[in-house]
Structure 1
Amino acid sequence: EFTLNLLARLNREIGSDFDLDGFRHHAVYARERGRIETFLISQRAQRVQVGGKAFEFAEGEAMQVEYSYKYTDARFAELAAAAGLKVTHGWNDAKDWFGLRV
């Protein structure tokens, strides 16, 4: 539902004509890349108008919509340091699924 909301927003905000029932959400964890890859899969051959341009989708065609990277605390600290930053505080949710670092 979250991913399909992207299409609903395009319809509402720029007048696209995506049929929300014409796509389904699909996500996979790409372990070697350390990320979740999210796609919308066309459920049939269809033509969609976006910003005055037409786009054709074949049945089963995937539209890549998101990469969500997952980092260990150590890796995130390395990335921050490479950008000239330092992690000083961190919080995680009760299930340890999400975290915030500043």
Structure 2
Amino acid sequence: MSDKAMSTADLTSVLAELPGWAHESDALLKTFTFANFREAMAFMVRVGFEAEAMDHHPEWTNVYDEVKIRLTTHHSGNKVTAKDVELAKVIEKVRDVQEG
């Protein structure tokens, strides 16, 4: 997958496929809210395994039932690349499975 920064036009197209995600400050951002801390942590663990397999790791924070994720590619000068988009899609699949 490319470390090349995506164009604004490409990002606009991608965001149409990623509901709730935003492009801000050279990153893809989304906040996920869960029923409780346990569900939020389970989500983070599942995403963590997927991110490690992709060798592409999110910047994230967790406070009780909320997980905020920021995706950017450090090797591209902290710009959004195809790697970030792919990880966002994987994160959405993890969320869908968890909501089951």
Query: TM-score scaled by structure 2?
Result: 0.29
Please state which structure has a larger fraction of its residues in strand: 1
Please state which structure has a larger fraction of its residues in helix: 2
Q: Which of these two proteins has the greater Rg computed from alpha carbons? A: 1
Query: TM-score scaled by structure 1?
Result: 0.29
